[in-house]
Each structure stands twice: as structure tokens, then as C-alpha cells.
């Protein structure tokens, strides 16, 4: 084959891969929001900096641990599939964990075990890692959000949660609310 | 007076003919052009890098006021622009390396920019290491399609970071042996290509440094406490590097461009310096590590590969060089074998191992000095002198001598440095005249 034709094919393949990757990321995210189930995860917030991807708040979540029957095969760091239920306040809490993909539902999260502690009566307390810890915001707003969260905590205001869509193991965080207000609406003047 | 004027002077004086003068002028103009072309490549790459970094900084600002769709479209613009420029460079300016390197750099950073923007717009999570891996995988085709040496260097650094970050776990042995290491091997065919086709370019010299450095660092991922067998694996690795540095291919370069040779020499000698102190031999649990060997098959395999490769290359260089005039293998070539022997002696007798380490260093220092004198190589000579100096310094801190004795010894050492270098330079001047 003509070297120029080969080069053209190689170039087209390179361009194709470089466009496909980000496009797939977008499609996966949009699919999860369209077909996945919405959960509200109650949050705590902090404010560091990622030099590659911008300003964000780091989120820690409640409801990520639960007590189960002891399973000696499970260790910290093992990959598991987690399902969630809604508590009386409307927030998501860990319901079950599976070693294999659950067959009876598409609303599960692929994650790993953060910690496992054996407790009496042949039980174990397991905590899972949530793969959505960062919420990207404009500079200045991230700090304002952190301050707003600290104020909400001091004044015992409710409504601090992240809206996450779960679908076939993937999780997409779509919104963050502090004191029932979207994080994007906080500005430096709110500090 | 510049070279062109000098050529005209020589023509006028009748020393060279007009025809010869024209040939010389043509040659000089061609070299100047390739020199300025090289400069353009460098500035082009710097300019493209700055633009790329600037784009990434813009990413960090966030664009809350725009809709998601518009943000997504804007995220793809740098990438599409870079791809269009790369196509122009590839098909309209195929002979220009400056165009290739510049557009390749711009494309590489545009890929990073696009990935980062999409992650940010859609709040897609992930560790820095997985972001770097995605970026590097998408940059790998740029290396081969645009034949960009600079992006090859970026790839090696990026993949090394990813491998180090994901495999450095002192507790979980099994996970280190995985297929992610194949990503590092993916750049080797291009490295071999630039060794053959761009052997005299600066980027190939950088590769000769970065590859041995990155491999040396990545080997740390395989170390597990209290394993000291890695000392032997490193000995084999540096033995291999030293032999690679003595292959015929590297004889055409100056020593400073031979990263394999310099890294291996300094690392091997440094290791012996560390083990010239008995306290070090007493601290390391050699026997315990050796007892672990039978249950640590991967380490055993690495040991065989590293030392086997070093021995095979040593043998190859010996066979190749033995019939050449002035044959000599670099004295440090055998250090990895000597270290292995001393290591096993150290299992039962730390004092003897210390003595042998010191004797080895002394002999190696003397042999390197002699090698430098024989080859008329100041760099090698000074490596030998440095080895002897550091050995004496170490022993002077170790052993109990008075300040006066130490002071005299240091002065004599400094004087000998000057004398030997002076003799070498004088000898060189005499040879030239």
C-alpha cells in the first residue's frame, strides 16, 4: 500500500480515538442522568485545588457504611457492587453490597471497600468508597460554598446534599445543594 | 571575521581554488540553514508548550455562566484546531520537523485540555493517575503518526508517573505484576527508531538519560520489606545499563550524552560507597531476604533477568571488543558480579564484606584513572580521581586520624588532582603540535 495512504489511515485513526474518548465520557454521563435513578447523598465539604482540572470542593458523604453478616472473603480494597435505599429524611444510605454484579437491578454502583471491621455476633461493619468526591466550581465560589456549608452546620440548617444518578455501576454527580440552595448560586459576596 | 569571509580570503591567497571555495560556501550555508531550522524547532516547541499550558490554566477558571452544550463545544475547539494543524504539518509540510514537533506538542496539550474540560463540565471523577493514563494513551499515536521525539519524552514521563503512582504499594505484592507495564513498552519501538534515524539529535540524547532513569525509579515499585534481594536486582540492572552504554552505537557520542553509562557508573560506585561502612552490612537483613527467595518467585525472575542480561551484554561486548586495538572494557563493568559475591559473603561475615567493598573501590578507582590516561579521556580520569577522593574521605570519617594527618591527606589529594589533569592536558597539547 502507498505509504501516504497508510499515513492517512493512521492519522484518521488517531483523530478518531482522540475524539471518541471524550465523546464516550460525555455519552456515559448523559446516559446515567437520563436512565439512572436519582439519589440525594448528604455531604460534608472542603476546598482544595487540582492544578489540571480547576477549583473544586471535596465532598465526604454520610450513609456509606452499614452492618452486614460476616464475610471472610471480603477485604479492604476489594471491588464490590453497592445498592442504596432512601432513609426517612430522603437521603441515600448503603443498603447491600455484592461481590458480583446484581442481576435484578440496574441501579447499583461499582466501588471498593474502604474499611471492614468485624463486630460481635458474626457481623461486620463495611464502609465503601464513593467515586464522586469532587464538585467543580468557579474560583471564589468553591471557597464561598465551603463557608456556606460551615455556616449551615453551625446554624443547624438542613438541605446539604449532592444529587447523584446511578446506572449500571456508574455514578454521575449532577448538582450540589448547600442549605437547599444550588452551589453555583453562592458567590464571594455570600462569605 | 566570519567563515564566509575567511573562505574568500583563502581563495584570494590562492590556497584553495574558486571551485573549492564555492563548495565550502554551499556546505556552510546548508549547515547554517539546518542550524536555524533546529532553533525554530526549539522555539516552536516552547511556544506550543506555553500555549498548551495556557489553555490548561484557562480550564482551571471554570465557566459557570455558559450552558453545558456550549461549554462542551468550546472544550473540543482546541483539540479540533490542533488536529487540523497536525494534518497540515503531516501532508503539506512533511519534510519539516519543526512543523511536526510544534503541531504534535500543541495536539498533545489540546488532548489534555479537552479531557480536563469534559471532566470538569460533567463532574467526572477519577484520580490524577487515571487522568494522566488517558492523556498518555491518546498522546501515544501522536508519537508514531507525527514522529515527535518531544511527545515521546512527555509520554515516558507521564507513563512513568502513572506506573509509579498506581504500583507503589509496599503491602500488596501481587498487584504490581499487571499488564499496565506494557504501556511503557509501547514507546520502545519509537525509541529504537530515533536511535537509528535521529541518533545525533538532542532529543535522542534526552531519551538515553530518561529511559534508564525512569526504569531505575520504577523498579522501586517491586521492592517489598524486608527484601534486600533488590540490591542484587539493581546491581544487575546497572550492570546491564553499563554494558548498553558500551555498545558500538554509543561510541560515536561524547560521554555526557551516554546516560546509560554515566547513571550505571555512578550508581554502582555509589552502592559500593554505601556498603563500605560495616554498620550498613549489620543493618540489612540479608539472610532473612534470602530465606524468602523460594516463596518470592517474581523477585527471583527479576533477579535472573537483570543479572542474565548484564552477563549476556558483558559477554557480547567482550567478544566484540577483544580483537580491536586498545581493547578494554570499562573497569566498572564487573562491579555487579563483585557486588553479588560480596553480598553473599556479607550474609555471614559483615567485616569481610566491608573490607572487600573498600578494596573493590580502591582497585576500581585506580583502574578508572588508568583507563582515562590510556584513552586520553579527562572525563573518565576525573571519575577515577573522584572515586578515590570520596573513598579516602569516607575512611577518614570512619577511622580515627588526627586533624593534621587528615588535612595533609586532603591537600595531597587536591594537588594530585591538579597534577594528573595538568599532565593529561600537556600530553594532549604535545600530541596536537
pLDDT at A52 over 50: no
Q: Is the dihedral of CA A91, A97, A101, A105 positive or negative?
A: negative
Q: Does A7 touch chain B (CB under 8 A)?
A: yes
User: What would the pLDDT profile of B118-169 be if each residue is shown by its tens digit?
Assistant: 988 888 877 788 899 999 999 999 999 999 999 999 999 999 999 988 887 6
CA distance B124 to B110: 18
Q: Does A182 touch chain B (CB under 8 A)?
A: no
Q: Does A177 touch chain B (CB under 8 A)?
A: no
pLDDT (0 to 100) of residue A51: 44
- This model of the complex carries an ipTM of 0.75
B201/B417: higher pLDDT: B201
B196/B396: higher pLDDT: B196
Measured between beta carbons, the chain A residues lying within 8 angstroms of B90 are: 7, 11
Highest mean pLDDT, choosing among A131-140, A181-190, B61-70, B349-358: B349-358
Question: Given an 8 Å threshold on Cβ–Cβ distance, is A139 in contact with B61?
Answer: yes
CB burial of residue B168 (10 Å; 0-12, 13-18, 19+): middle
CA distance B405 to B295: 51
User: What would the pLDDT profile of B58-72 be if each residue is shown by its tens digit?
Assistant: 655 655 667 788 889
Three-state DSSP at A140 gives coil
Q: Taking CB atoms and an 8 Å cut-off, how many pairs form between chains A and B?
A: 101
Q: Does A9 touch chain B (CB under 8 A)?
A: no
CB burial of residue B186 (10 Å; 0-12, 13-18, 19+): middle
Q: Is the dihedral of CA B176, B182, B183, B189 positive or negative?
A: positive
Question: Given an 8 Å threshold on Cβ–Cβ distance, is A133 in contact with B125?
Answer: yes
User: What would the pLDDT profile of A77-111 be if each residue is shown by its tens digit?
Assistant: 888 999 999 999 899 999 999 988 888 888 999 99
Torsion angles phi and psi, residue B8, rounded to 5: -65, -35
CA distance B273 to B86: 50
Q: Are strands A109-119 and A79-86 parallel, antiparallel or unpaired?
A: antiparallel
Question: Given an 8 Å threshold on Cβ–Cβ distance, is A53 in contact with B76?
Answer: no
- Whether residue A86 contacts residue A92, with contact meaning beta carbons closer than 8 Å, is answered with yes
Measured between beta carbons, the chain B residues lying within 8 angstroms of A132 are: 123, 125
Q: Residue B5 is placed in which grid cell?
A: 569571509
CB neighbour list of residue B166: distance below 8 Å, 6 or more residues apart: B129, B180
Question: Given an 8 Å threshold on Cβ–Cβ distance, is B79 in contact with A26?
Answer: no
Q: If contacts are CB pairs under 8 Å, which of residues 130-159 in chain A contact chain B?
A: 131-139, 141
User: What would the pLDDT profile of B175-187 be if each residue is shown by its tens digit?
Assistant: 677 788 899 999 9
Across chain A, which distance is largest between two alpha carbons, in Å? Answer: 73
Q: If contacts are CB pairs under 8 Å, which of residues 13-52 in chain A contact chain B?
A: 13-15, 17-19, 21-22, 25-26, 29, 50-52
Q: How far is B218 from chain A (nearest CA, A)?
A: 23
Which of A10, A18, A25 is closest, CB to CB, to B111?
A: A18
pTM of the model: 0.77
CB burial of residue B14 (10 Å; 0-12, 13-18, 19+): exposed
User: What would the pLDDT profile of B217-236 be if each residue is shown by its tens digit?
Assistant: 998 888 766 567 888 889 99
Q: Compute the radius of gyration of chain A from its Cα atoms.
A: 21
Q: Does B206 touch chain A (CB under 8 A)?
A: no
Q: Does A188 touch chain B (CB under 8 A)?
A: no
Q: Does B134 touch chain A (CB under 8 A)?
A: yes
Three-state DSSP at B15 gives coil
Amino acid at each position: 500500500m502507498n505509504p501516504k495512504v497508510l499515513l492517512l489511515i493512521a492519522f484518521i485513526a488517531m483523530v478518531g480515538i482522540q475524539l471518541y474518548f471524550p465523546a464516550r465520557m460525555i455519552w456515559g454521563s448523559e446516559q446515567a442522568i437520563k436512565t439512572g435513578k436519582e439519589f440525594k447523598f448528604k455531604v460534608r465539604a472542603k476546598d482544595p485545588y487540582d492544578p489540571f482540572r480547576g477549583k473544586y470542593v471535596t465532598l465526604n458523604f454520610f450513609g456509606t457504611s452499614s452492618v452486614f453478616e460476616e464475610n471472610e472473603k471480603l477485604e479492604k480494597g476489594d471491588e464490590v457492587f453497592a445498592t442504596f435505599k432512601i432513609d426517612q429524611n430522603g437521603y441515600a444510605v448503603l443498603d447491600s453490597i455484592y461481590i458480583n454484579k446484581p442481576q435484578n437491578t440496574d441501579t447499583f454502583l461499582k466501588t471498593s471497600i474502604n474499611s471492614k471491621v468485624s463486630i460481635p455476633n458474626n457481623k461486620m461493619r463495611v464502609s465503601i468508597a464513593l467515586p464522586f468526591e469532587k464538585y467543580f466550581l468557579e474560583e471564589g465560589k468553591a471557597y464561598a460554598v465551603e463557608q456556606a456549608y460551615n455556616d449551615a452546620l453551625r446554624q443547624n440548617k438542613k438541605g446539604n446534599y449532592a444529587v447523584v444518578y446511578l446506572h449500571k455501576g456508574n455514578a454521575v454527580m449532577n448538582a450540589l445543594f448547600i442549605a437547599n440552595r444550588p452551589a453555583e448560586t453562592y458567590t464571594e459576596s455570600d462569605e | 571575521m566570519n567563515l564566509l569571509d575567511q573562505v574568500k580570503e583563502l581563495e584570494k591567497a590562492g590556497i584553495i581554488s574558486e571551485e573549492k571555495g564555492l563548495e565550502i560556501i554551499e556546505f556552510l550555508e546548508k549547515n547554517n540553514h539546518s542550524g536555524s531550522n533546529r532553533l525554530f524547532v526549539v522555539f516552536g516547541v516552547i511556544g506550543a508548550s506555553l500555549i498548551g499550558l495556557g489553555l490548561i490554566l484557562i480550564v482551571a477558571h471554570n465557566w459557570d455562566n455558559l450552558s453545558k452544550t456550549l461549554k462542551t463545544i468550546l472544550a473540543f475547539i482546541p483539540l479540533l484546531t490542533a488536529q487540523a494543524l497536525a494534518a497540515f504539518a503531516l501532508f503539506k509540510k512533511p519534510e519539516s520537523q519543526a512543523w511536526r514537533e510544534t503541531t504534535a506538542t500543541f495536539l498533545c496539550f489540546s488532548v489534555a485540555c479537552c479531557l480536563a474540560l469534559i471532566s470538569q463540565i460533567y463532574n467526572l471523577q477519577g484520580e490524577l493517575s487515571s487522568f494522566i493514563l488517558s492523556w498518555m494513551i491518546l498522546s501515544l499515536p501522536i508519537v508514531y503518526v507525527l514522529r515527535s521525539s518531544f511527545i515521546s519524552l512527555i509520554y515516558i514521563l507521564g507513563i512513568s508517573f502513572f506506573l509509579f503512582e498506581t504500583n507503589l504499594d509496599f503491602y500488596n505484592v501481587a498487584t504490581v505484576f499487571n499488564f499496565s507495564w506494557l504501556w511503557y513498552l509501547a514507546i520502545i519501538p519509537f525509541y529504537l527508531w530515533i536511535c537509528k534515524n535521529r541518533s545525533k539529535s538532542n532529543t535522542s540524547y534526552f531519551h538515553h538519560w530518561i529511559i534508564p532513569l525512569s526504569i531505575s525509579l520504577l523498579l522501586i515499585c517491586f521492592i517489598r520489606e524486608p527484601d534486600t534481594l533488590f540490591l542484587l536486582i539493581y546491581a544487575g540492572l546497572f550492570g546491564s545499563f553499563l554494558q548498553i552504554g558500551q555498545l558500538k552505537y554509543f561510541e560515536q557520542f561524547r560521554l555526557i550524552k551516554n546516560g546509560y553509562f554515566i547513571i550505571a557508573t555512578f550508581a554502582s560506585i555509589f552502592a559500593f560507597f554505601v556498603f563500605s561502612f560495616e554498620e550498613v552490612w549489620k543493618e540489612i537483613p540479608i539472610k532473612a531476604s534470602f530465606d524468602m527467595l523460594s516463596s518470592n518467585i517474581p523477585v527471583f525472575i527479576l533477579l535472573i533477568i537483570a543479572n542474565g542480561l548484564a552477563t549476556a551484554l558483558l559477554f557480547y561486548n567482550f567478544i566484540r571488543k577483544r580483537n580491536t586495538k586498545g581493547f578494554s572494557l570499562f573497569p566498572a563493568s564487573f562491579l555487579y558480579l563483585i557486588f553479588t559475591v560480596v553480598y553473599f559473603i556479607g550474609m555471614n561475615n559483615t567485616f569481610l564484606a566491608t573490607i572487600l567493598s573498600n578494596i573493590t573501590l580502591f582497585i576500581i578507582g585506580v583502574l578508572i584513572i588508568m583507563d582515562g590516561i590510556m584513552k586520553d579521556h579527562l572525563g573518565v580520569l576525573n571519575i577515577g580521581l573522584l572515586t578515590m577522593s570520596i573513598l579516602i574521605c569516607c575512611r577518614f570519617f570512619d577511622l580515627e586520624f588526627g586533624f593534621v594527618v587528615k588535612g595533609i591527606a586532603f591537600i595531597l589529594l587536591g594537588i594530585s588532582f591538579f597534577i594528573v589533569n595538568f599532565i593529561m592536558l600537556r600530553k594532549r597539547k604535545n600530541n596536537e603540535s
